[in-house]
Amino acid sequence: MPPPGIFGDWELTHTGGTSDWFPVEETRYYTNAFLIQNAKILLGYKKRGLGIHKYNGFGGKVEPDESTVAAAARELLEEAGISAPLEHAGTLLFVVPGNKWAHIDIFRAEEYSGTIIESDEMRPEWFDASQIPFDNMWDTDRYWLPLLLAKHPFAGRADFEKEGDSYILKRWWIGKKT
């Protein structure tokens, strides 16, 4: 059965951890967008803020009165200098006790327009889809990014505890659309 906060019919693909699911807090909405082209994926090396020094897609907070897809397009332009026809790929809940829940809508695209640039926040870099740097990404990305690459809708939840500047994964659940 999916964990609290994940609704609908999903087939479990990965789960682990032993702690209880952390309790419900207020939710904040985020986006994350990945570009895939010629068996390569565009990632950004995060230069500041949440997830600093990790590779990730391009994204950030959804502003009040903004749709998630509009926010995803804005963040992709701000952080990588490009526009793309974004398709919703999946949803991830990122939970840390004492913080608002992060509900992350994750997007993918296979085309883009504009010139890829480095921004204050991200340094873009192409990787072979077979050589994604999972050891330098958020811990649960290795479970759902293959579903994004395969265009298989997914949902998941990842509960972390913050220890100093590090986020320690405590429990996770990833499912794909049945």
Ligand X SMILES: COc1nc(N)nc2c1ncn2[C@H]1C[C@H](O)[C@@H](COP(=O)(O)OP(=O)(O)OP(=O)(O)O)O1
Query: Residues in the site for ligand X, rule: CB under 6 A?
Result: 30-32, 49-51, 56, 59-61, 94, 102, 104, 138, 140-141, 158
Q: Which is nearer to ligand X, 80 or 102 (CB)?
A: 102
Min dist CB 88 to ligand X, Å, is 14
Sign of the alpha-carbon torsion through 158, 161, 163, 164: positive
Q: For the residues of 21-61, what is the DSSP string, one character each?
A: PPPP--EEEEEEEEEEETTEEEEEEE-SSTTTTSEE-B--B
Q: Which is nearer to ligand X, 40 or 61 (CB)?
A: 61
Which tokens belong to 72?
A: 């995803």
Min dist CB 33 to ligand X, Å, is 8
Contact 42, 118 (CB under 8 A): no
In this structure, what DSSP letter does residue 48 have?
S
Contact 81, 115 (CB under 8 A): yes
Min dist CB 39 to ligand X, Å, is 21
Min dist CB 110 to ligand X, Å, is 19
Bridge partner list, 43: 125
Min dist CB 7 to ligand X, Å, is 19
Burial of 123 per CB tally in 10 Å (0-12, 13-18, 19+): middle
Q: Which is nearer to ligand X, 37 or 119 (CB)?
A: 119
Could you give the 3-state DSSP secondary structure of residue 67? coil
Q: Which is nearer to ligand X, 166 or 178 (CB)?
A: 166
Q: Which is nearer to ligand X, 60 or 124 (CB)?
A: 60
Nearest-CB residue for ligand X: 60
Q: Which of 3, 2, 10, 7 is nearest to 152 (CA)?
A: 10
Min dist CB 146 to ligand X, Å, is 13
The amino acid at residue 38 is N
Q: Which is nearer to ligand X, 10 or 167 (CB)?
A: 167
